[in-house]
A and B are shown apart, each in its own frame.
Chain A
Amino acid sequence: MTALALPTGVWRREALTEVKRSLRLPQFLLPTVLTPAGFYGLFTLALPHDPAPGFAAATLAGYGVFAATGPALFGFGAGVAVEREQGLIELKRVSPMPAGAYVGAKLAAAVTTTALALVLIDALSIVAGVRLAPATWALLTLLHLASAIPFALIGFGMGMRMSAKGAVAVANALFLGCSVLGGLWIPSRLLPGWMQMIGAWTPSYHLGQLARVIVGADTIGSPWMHAAAIIAMTVAGAAWAWTGWRRSPA
């Protein structure tokens, strides 16, 4: 018997619906959008008296990655686990929707939420006197939005394997742990050696270093090494996510 073709627009409609859903959940949206801006404002603008623009730009590099981490880890990690327990993944799985459309839609929602958080952080940085060339802004924004991808894949794999409670706890630990150890809050070169060593295993560290390269701040190691590390971690994350989807009997 013949296989029927995939109707056009399935991926786009799935993504639009998912973005609409996440915008209707203010209890999830507000914390993930406001937390990074709040922290950036507190540590960069409020604490240091008269911050130098170079300092604010270097910090912006790290906090933008931080802003991408939350929606990706909570939307995917905790969100997917909750949806699995509610039977929503089962609903999708028996439908003819291709699995990739579900992941793509979740990713679109995480990137949209990240974009909202970035608007706030970028606005605060301009208030703090950060001035970057348009091309630099574009590149930095692109990197910050793309930072959601490795975390989203890690979160997705968690969501397919863990209970909702477990996934929330692990997402919280990764959210804070990766950000501190990866040098997103305090630059890595100011961290003790053992923290730097562990931090080198987080995507946050490599993404943060790449962002610092873009804004012209001091960095550790070569940009190519960081790019290679982040690609490797993304590929590993994709394998973790895919095997999670395949093994879950839900």
Chain B
Amino acid sequence: MTDDLAAVARLSGVSKRLGGRAVLDGLDLGIRAGEVTALLGPNGAGKTTSVALLTGRLAPDAGTAQLFGLDPRRPAARRRLGVMLQSAGLPDVLTIRELVALHSGYYPDPRPLDEVMMLAGIADLADRRCGALSGGQARRVQYALAICGRADLLVLDEPTAAMDRGSARTLWGTVRALADDGAAVLLTSHDLAEADALADRVLVMDAGRIVADDTPAALRARAGGSVIRCRTALEPAVAALLPAAREAVMEGADLRILTGDAAGTVAALLVADPALSALRIADATLEDAIATLLAPAQERIAA
């Protein structure tokens, strides 16, 4: 990560043990201004812990966490940070306007209240108490709290979980605009379509390490053109030798083959195992690319 000198937030050589388990082990990670960075990976990969370290809720056991050059646990560092956490709640007897105004007051140069409400799509809910919101509405209020202070770094943890598709698209639009204005955005998501639509850069984590750092397009290209799935008696090691096949992995009961030429591979596959069933062919997605990166080493047979 040579270009991380420009990072507004970074973890350098960070190790963290939680509950007797090494969650992070020497992790290096930097978030740059003007970019949406998606942090992806399976549960337990260390995404939540990394976000907790960057937002000052945890301290590293070894290495350093920095936010704008300061320790994230100092409130002064967080005056340039806006956070939307999945695990955070809202105080139910305050109205939305009262809550957003209170949080705006924590920042030196907050956005005007009406603008925040409009950007987050909650202008019509301003006088509603937080306890009377649906799940999707509560997420939009959390988003308002993240953007109310004109933060230079936005951390969005599963921002559109519980949101309908329309609200999610509106949110993506405002996040994109904020990043184009120069904000750094760190996004965690289980929705890979969301990461693909929004991110300039994808960091894939596994077992406390970054296993890939690239653009979504480059990751998709790495996965090849198409994905073939079928039920077959063929061993992955054998399937990987089929024409144009780049990789073959077991995925549950299915064999999944990445290929640059679906027709050529399928033709050879049908010759090799005429009894195969449940054959499906699809374009490789970001999800396929990441599944490939994360497949356990013993199951991965690169061609």
Contact = CB atoms under 8 A, between A and B. Distances in A.
A98 B80 CA distance: 14
Contacts of B149: 96
B98 A17 contact: yes
Interface string A76-120: 000000010011101101111111000000000000000000000
A216 B62 CA distance: 59
Interface stretch (A2-10, A133-141, A170-178, A192-200): A2-10
Contacts, number: 91
A94 B105 contact: no
B102 A94 contact: no
A95 B108 contact: no
B241 interface: no
Contacts of A17: 94, 98, 102
B284 interface: no
Contact of A90 (B77, B80, B87): B87
Contacts of B75: 6, 96-99
Given A4-B76, A21-B93, A10 B105 contact: yes
Given A7-B105, A14-B102, A88-B91, A94 B79 contact: no
SS class, residues of chain A in contact with chain B: loop
Nearest to B72: A94
Nearest to B148: A95
A13 interface: yes
B107 A1 contact: no
A83 B90 CA distance: 9
B107 A7 contact: yes
Interface residues of B, number: 36
B255 to A, nearest CB: 42
A25 B129 CA distance: 13
Contacts of A83: 89, 91
A93 B57 contact: yes
Contacts of A49: none
Contact of A4 (B58, B79, B91, B93): B79
Contacts of A13: 102, 105
B76 A95 contact: no
Interface in B59-91: 68-70, 74-81, 83, 85, 87-91
B56 interface: yes
B56, B69, B76, B81, most chain A CB atoms within 10 A = B76
A94 B85 contact: yes
A97 B81 contact: no
Nearest to B18: A249
B89 to A, nearest CB: 4
A27 B76 CA distance: 37
B209 interface: no
Interface in B19-70: 52, 55-58, 68-70
B66 to A, nearest CB: 10
A4 B150 CA distance: 13
Given A6-B75, A17-B98, A98-B75, 4 more contacts: A20-B94, A24-B93, A87-B89, A250-B57
Interface of B: 18, 52, 55-58, 68-70, 74-81, 83, 85, 87-91, 93-94, 98, 102-103, 105-108, 145, 149, 155
Among all A-B residue pairs, the 6 with the closest Cβ atoms = A87-B89, A3-B76, A86-B89, A94-B83, A91-B88, A96-B78
